[in-house]
Chains A and B, each alone.
Chain A
Amino acid sequence: MGFLRRLKNVFGRREMERQFDDELAFHREMRMRKLRERGLTGAEAEEELAFRMGNVTLAKEEMRDARVVPWLDSCLQDIRHGFVLMRRDPGATAIVLLVLALGIGGTAAIFTLFKTAFLNPLPYAEADRIVTLSDHFQKMGIEGINPTIPEFLDIRDQSRSYSQVAFFDHRDFQSTGVDEPVRVFAARTTASLFPLLGVRAAMGRTFSPDENQPGRTNVVLLSDGYWRNRLAGDPAIVGKTIRLNGEPHTVIGVLPDSFRFDHPSLGIPEPVEIYVPFVMSDYYTSRAGGYSNARRVRVLARLADGVPLPRANAELQGVAAKLAEEHRAIYRSPSGESVGFSVEARPLREAITADYRPLLQLLFGSVAVLLLIACGNAAQILLARSLQRGREVAVRLALGASRARLIRLFLLESLVLSACGGVLGLLASVWITQVLIALLPMRHTIFDGARADGGVVLFTAALSIGSALVFGIVPAIKGADFAPSSVLSMRGGTAGGNRWRHAMIALQAAFSMALLSAAGLLCANLWRLVTTPRGFDPDDVTVIQLRLPHVREQALGPSPMRAYQEYLEKLAGAGVGPAAIVTGLPLTGAMRMNFQIEGMEADAAGPPRQTAQWQRVSPEYFQALRIPLRAGRTFQEDDASDRPAVAIVSEEFVRRYLPGRNPIGRRILTDIPLTIVGVVGNVRMSGGSTTPEPQAYVSYLQGYDPIVHLVVRSPLGQGELLARVKQAIRAAYDDQAVFNVMTMEESLSRSVAGPRFQALLVGAFAVLALLMSASGLYGVISCLVTQRTAEIAIRVALGAGRGSIVRVILGPVAAWVAAGLTAGVGVGLATSFSVRRLSAVQEPAAPAVYAVIVTGYAVVAVVACFLPMWRAVRLEPTAALRCD
């Protein structure tokens, strides 16, 4: 209990002091009265009183020491002193708080994202028990693809490890809008998905198992967004019907607003608007032909109670082996060898967040370096300050303080600074987090709940304490070193500590250089991606996506692609400019397929399987995008399904697979033979790479894809163009919805969103680091000039020229900075491999990049040194020596 009271006294000082004063005043009064009784006069009585009272101040101090928790009390005193020092030099304090807020705030922001993605529980019931299953075909080099529906059913029947299993995929539907058909993005699920995730409908109910059976599936579950936006939040929506793909579907429920399951890393490219039951008809559930024909879906499972993941995986191995035995036609290659089929369960969190891990690691690393540089600035300012307090240190030591006590004092003062910086940083991090999330290049459902909660506050507190130690330890130790010479001289103060200053400058240079190297790598990569020719002309091109409605497909029987032909015919008459159909847009990727070239079939020792990127296009495609035709001809309208199959290949295709030979007339063997009729220029199909890839095109009338893009080159404005396109298409078929309308420029911009984000962010960090380093350099040079004012004055008086002054002051600094830069470039080179791995950059930076960075840093350094050096060389010797 005594301890508690002593604790209270630490914080309730004033009350305690008042009591002491009262007690002593009482004693004084009694003594006075006694003295007067004895006959002393006023003045004599006062004198006698003072003599008898002794040293009251010391007495009160001893009373205080008896009544408090001593170490806590002195710590509190030190902290108060820290605040006093902060107020005394607002300029320096502002700089330290600014750099610390930036460093700590940035790190806290990245940590917030990291925590949301990797540490916070997913918003599903007991989400750490949910796994996702994937197939591996080891011998064929295929890893982590979704299982097929027959495999799902077998696993469900043969496994004991799961309490629930479910799957889903996605599909485009068409609903009748107000005055035009509208495309709706839907997820098709098993009924078990919602109980597995632990989600209940906000209105109505979710699917019942029999609704997955054929004939019962005309029900639909709405997302909250769809219900509010498209159906005006109709409170009586449950039970009503909406038309999807021409058929009425009954609305059985609306999902809660908080439910989000459309993570892009799970294979859902767009936000899901509605959910429909997957039709478990024989078409999907039976195994037909080779392994690649069956539909693949994303499978989820909930581990049964008490079943650890390794046991579930072991069981899966058994199931996979059994399947491979039972269905040899599917799981063995034509020559009878095993394809290495296995199934693996991974935690759901891993599948959702795997994409973000490299990015967050990259950002974390960069911001940590920034924080270290910020600590360097703080250390440098604190070092200057602590060396200026030589006299104060001398007095404290004389009063009996130990060196350890002094070091504790300095460290606590650093803690005050870093705590204030931490609070500011925490506030800043809230804003920075929002900005980062807004700029993220990929769609990100997982970050919806990102906020600075208790964990982030704890992290920031720990970071502040750690930073205080990092930047405070050297100034503390140097400051507590009692140096009589500096104290006795009037100018005392900035002497000493120079070697540490230079070392800190070198360290800051090294770290900045490392960060700048990473930024340079990413920026150079971005530049390359943006400026490498794409192989086509994107100006004035608009792209529109469309999916042929099921009804139309069926109506056109064996040749649904004739619908596209009709659309293009109508578009030709609409006066919009060249228009074409294509399955995969440039820079967003195309399907890869293997093939053989007739007459050059792979021999045993020959090159690996030939592969190319394939697209299905209409005849005007090359003209619409201005892709040059190098040889032969483009497709014609009579390259239709009843005519021999033809193909057009790219220059890279010819260079790689038919070097020195005439490609026209040669045949490519896919599942059907194709005759090459033309060669076109290369087109970049991947936003993240610039290596030319072999490409092949087939005619849009010789095969069918339900989802295609329409590309139109037209000088018309977007609104006008879209209106005419829709009109033309509706003239051919009334119920065709179009979606994902954007200009080709927009599409290109999206394709480099990832590299752009990385380059922007790391670049921002690097620029901040550079500014901090420059500020540190400025501080050090100023310090040096002030320190050596007398020396410079004497040199000038003795006739030294400006150049020699500059050399004398800057010589050692330049040497240290050069050493730091060299080390930094070394670190940058050493870490460039990791940076490339984390950012998916394919080529290392050219040496020119490093040269530019080093030169840039040197220029900034010169500018930073300019002002203090200007002062130095313009020193008036008499004036300088006078104020000694």
Chain B
Amino acid sequence: MGTGKNDQLLGRLDLLALRVLASGGRMHGYAIAERIEELSNAMLQVGEGSLYPALHRMDEAGWVASDWAPSENNRRARFYRITAAGRRQLVKEEAEWLRASEGIARVLRLA
């Protein structure tokens, strides 16, 4: 996998990408990566080593749908958007994340 900054994604790339797509509509992979960086105040940097495989896996799983279309610089790019199943998966993963982080926070606070 990548090194350094990417570890900070803590393996939650699926969750973040789905969340971005949930409100971002139709975006290509670069836009998703930029948005995650932007929203996290440059704390999370997404490398291709993880993003595109994740997007393709989610496409096969049916959580996102993709198609090819011309982009802003007139080059063809692959655009992704979230599906209904993807939204359900988002809810699930978000809940899981909150549960896990709450658990960790409790241990840190009380131990």
Interface residues of A (CB under 8 A from B): 2, 6, 19-20, 22-24, 26-27, 29-31, 34, 52-56, 58-59, 62-63, 66-67
Contact = CB atoms under 8 A, between A and B. Distances in A.
Given A54-B47, A55-B2, A67-B60, A62 B29 contact: no
B22 to A, nearest CB: 21
Contacts of B88: none
The listed residue with most A CB atoms (<10 A of its CB), out of B49, B50, B76, is: B49
Given A24-B52, A59-B48, A66-B56, 12 more contacts: A19-B78, A20-B52, A22-B78, A26-B71, A27-B29, A27-B33, A29-B73, A52-B47, A59-B49, A59-B50, A63-B53, A63-B56
A849 B82 CA distance: 83
A67 B2 CA distance: 21
Contacts of A30: 30, 73
B71 A54 contact: no
A850 to B, nearest CB: 67
B44 interface: no
A607 to B, nearest CB: 90
A53 B48 contact: yes
B60 A6 contact: yes
A52 B73 CA distance: 22
Contact of A62 (B6, B28, B53, B76): B53
A27 B51 CA distance: 11
B45 A66 contact: no
B77 interface: yes
Interface in B24-79: 28-30, 33-34, 45, 47-50, 52-53, 56-57, 59-60, 62, 71, 73, 75-78
A587 to B, nearest CB: 78
Given A52-B47, A59-B49, A66 B30 contact: no
A722 B1 CA distance: 97
B62 A53 contact: no
Contacts of B75: 26, 29
Contacts of A62: 53, 56-57
Contacts of A34: 34
A23 B78 contact: yes
Contacts of A67: 56, 60
Nearest to A54: B49
B52 A59 contact: yes
Nearest to B33: A27
A53 B30 contact: no
A882 to B, nearest CB: 47
Contacts of B71: 26
Contacts of A24: 48, 52
A55 B47 CA distance: 9
A63 B53 CA distance: 5
Contacts of A52: 45, 47-48
Contacts of A19: 78
A2 B76 contact: no
Contacts of B60: 2, 6, 66-67
Nearest to A23: B78
Contact of B53 (A6, A26, A31, A66): A66
A10 to B, nearest CB: 14
B30 A59 contact: no
A566 B59 CA distance: 103
A27 B30 contact: yes
A304 B23 CA distance: 79
A36 to B, nearest CB: 14
A6 B62 CA distance: 13
A26 B76 contact: yes
Nearest to A65: B53
Which 7 A-B pairs have CB atoms at the shortest separation, nearest pair first? A54-B49, A62-B53, A54-B47, A54-B2, A30-B30, A66-B56, A66-B57
Most buried by A among B50, B52, B71: B52
Contacts of A29: 73, 75
Contacts of B76: 22, 26
Specify which of B6, B71, B77 lies most central, judged by the most chain A CB atoms within 10 Å of its CB: B77
Contacts of A22: 76, 78
Contacts of A53: 47-49
7 contacts: A2-B60, A19-B78, A26-B76, A27-B52, A30-B73, A52-B47, A66-B57
A23 B28 CA distance: 9
A66 B52 CA distance: 10
A23 B50 CA distance: 14
